Amino acid sequence: MQLLERKIIVSKPYRSEWSITKGPDKWTSQKIKAIIETCQLEGLYKQDTPLREDIKSAIESSRSSILGLRDNWDDEGSPGYTKETWRRATLFLENCVKWLWCDHETVLAAPNILPGPNGSIDLHWDTQKYEVLINIPADRTVKLGFYGDNKGDDFRKGSLNPKTKNEDFLLWLKNLV
Amino acid sequence: MVEESGIAGLDIEEIPDKDRLFMRVHSNNTKNGLLIPGAFKNHNDGMSTDWSKYSIPEQTRQRAKNPSRNGVIEMSVKDVRAIPGQRVQHTPIPSNRAHTDVLGEKDEESRVKFLRISRWAIPLE
């Protein structure tokens, strides 16, 4: 089997750079793909396709606007936001953007990254063609909830597992955008 | 129509579809002057609003801990009831006869739909 050379950048705590030119027979392309996907899910792998500027900008501006909200930020006792929840939300967004681009050559617009209820974070797209809301709970053991529609009859709602690719959801999103 | 007596003997009334509900919105629940979905959430059992029969938007705003940092939105009762899973329940309290809870889970679908039916009655300063 001929494997193409590909540089993989792995971030802390596995920081190193390595490449595969010839793998042993047991390293099938499916296995390598699975390893890369696992690294993506854990935030360890950065694909060589960089994030677009609008996505990076949305993530960066949300860092201060959300993490700056302390307990009782609404004068009604709402809890503040943890960096861990914010990182899960932005990592999920990064993965959606990259998967849609790499697998489907679809450009996902930058969402609003917003404070949600009870320490959760919302990703909100509201365009002329569609509206989608994804909620990343503060409790990492709880699945992500989502609702979206094309501002007409085509809608989807349910939950998403941040540890998988959510292919059905991405395909539906691809058709919306 | 009066259904029963609530807290402190205040009558609990049936709220007609044609009426409106007012709700305070803190400035941190907006972005660039626009409402965000996170503004719609339950406190304990429901989302607190005021019934237009017994309140005007400014009274709703003045009930905030810091009125200057709050605007007020309005929603039609009929539109609220059209959102799946939502019920409108008059829940008067001694300090506020207009108090009304919107009961039901505030999931992603309902929050998107609350956004769509809301209008500013008093925009943020």
Radius of gyration from C-alpha coordinates of chain B: 14
pLDDT at res. A30: 62
Query: For A65-87, b where at least 16 C-beta lie within 10 A, e where not — what string?
Result: ebeebeeebbeeebeebeeebbe
Q: Give the mean pLDDT of B55-75.
A: 97
User: Rounded mean pLDDT of chain A?
Assistant: 81
pLDDT at res. B45: 85
Q: Give the mean pLDDT of B3-14.
A: 75
In whole angstroms, give the CA distance from residue A162 to residue A52: 21
C-alpha count within 13 angstroms, C-beta hemisphere, residue A52: 17
Q: Give the mean pLDDT of A44-67.
A: 82
In whole angstroms, give the CA distance from residue B107 to residue B19: 24
B12 CA to chain A: closest CA distance, Å? 25
Binary contact (A112, B64; C-beta < 8 A)? no
Cβ of A131 under 8 Å from any chain B Cβ?
A: yes
DSSP B93: B
Q: Which of residues 3-42 of B touch A (CB under 8 A)?
A: 26, 28-29, 31, 36-38, 41
pLDDT at res. A164: 86
DSSP B43: B
Quote the ipTM score: 0.92
Q: What are the residue boundaries of the structural domains of chain B, listed by start? A: 2-29+39-122
Residues in A closer than 8 angstroms to B108, CB to CB, are: 133-135, 145-147, 157
User: Rounded mean pLDDT of chain B?
Assistant: 94
Q: What are the residue boundaries of the structural domains of chain A, listed by start? A: 1-48, 51-176
By C-alpha distance, the chain A residue nearest B111 is: A133
Q: Is the pLDDT of residue A7 over 80?
A: no
Q: Is the pLDDT of residue B2 over 70?
A: no
By C-alpha distance, the chain A residue nearest B48 is: A76
